[in-house]
């Protein structure tokens, strides 16, 4: 009768290599590079769909030039543990795309001195006007969703295969 125990040779070395790959510092950098490449079609589509102001205007004490929102569109690297790339208007550094969400979702304009309640939609009756929403980012995402997803899957498969090959050496 057999003892039911079997011995696998090389398992300890395999386990050590897998742990080494899990803590690899270059993994995050490589995945971010792949995600930036994959995000390019969405970024290009967003740049073509973004509305352009007809003239220069003032907001929050700053002059905003036409095409400012278009120039501020780009890749934003997420700060999470998992590598993440967002595509949208940038507002840090020399970029002034802080008002991109007003263009995307629209904005109520209230009378001077009106204090809004915290409940959403509670004071819509007090709005003097509303800037119409122009969901250019949603349209860009919807128009490029299929090809971008397929491209991301293909590039990640190549990356994983490269890691497996590194593991087997």
* Coarse DSSP helix, strand, coil percentages of the chain, rounded to the nearest 5 percent: 50, 15, 35
**Is 4 part of a structural domain of the chain?**
no
Looking at the 3D structure of the chain, how many domains does it have? 1
**Is 55 part of a structural domain of the chain?**
yes
**Is 82 part of a structural domain of the chain?**
yes
pLDDT tens-digit readout, 86-138: 999 999 988 989 989 889 998 877 665 555 555 566 666 666 677 889 999 99
Q: Can you give the pLDDT at residue 145?
A: 83
Does residue 8 register a pLDDT over 90?
A: no
Please report, rounded to a whole number, the percentage of residues in the chain having pLDDT higher than 70.
Answer: 73
Task: Specify whether the CB–CB gap between 72 and 100 falls below 8 A.
Answer: yes
Q: How many CB atoms lie within 10 A of CB 4?
A: 5
**Is 127 part of a structural domain of the chain?**
no
Mean pLDDT within 24-38 = 84
**Is 19 part of a structural domain of the chain?**
yes
Please give the residue range of the domain that contains residue 34.
12-99+136-168
**Is 144 part of a structural domain of the chain?**
yes
Closest CA to 148 of 29, 42, 74: 42
**Is 120 part of a structural domain of the chain?**
no
Quick check: pTM over 0.75?
no
**Is 122 part of a structural domain of the chain?**
no
The C-alpha atoms of residue 78 and residue 95 are separated, in whole angstroms, by 17
User: CB under 8 Å to 162, separation ≥6 — which residues?
Assistant: none
């Amino acid at each position: 009768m057999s003892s039911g125990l079997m011995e696998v040779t090389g398992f300890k070395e395999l386990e050590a290599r897998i742990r080494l790959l899990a803590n690899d510092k270059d993994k995050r950098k490589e995945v971010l590079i792949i995600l930036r490449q994959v995000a390019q079609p969405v970024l290009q589509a967003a740049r073509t769909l973004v509305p352009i102001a007809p003239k220069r205007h003032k907001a929050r004490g700053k002059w905003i030039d036409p095409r400012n929102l278009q120039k501020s569109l780009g890749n934003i690297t997420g700060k999470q543990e998992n590598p993440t790339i967002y595509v949208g208007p940038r507002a840090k550094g020399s970029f002034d795309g802080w008002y991109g969400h007003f263009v995307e979702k629209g904005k109520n304009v209230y009378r001077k001195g009106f204090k809004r309640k915290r409940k959403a939609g509670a004071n819509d009756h007090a709005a003097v006007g509303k800037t119409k929403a122009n969901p250019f980012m949603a349209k860009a995402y919807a128009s490029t969703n299929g090809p971008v997803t397929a491209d991301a899957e293909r590039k990640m498969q190549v990356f994983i295969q490269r890691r497996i090959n590194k593991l087997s050496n």
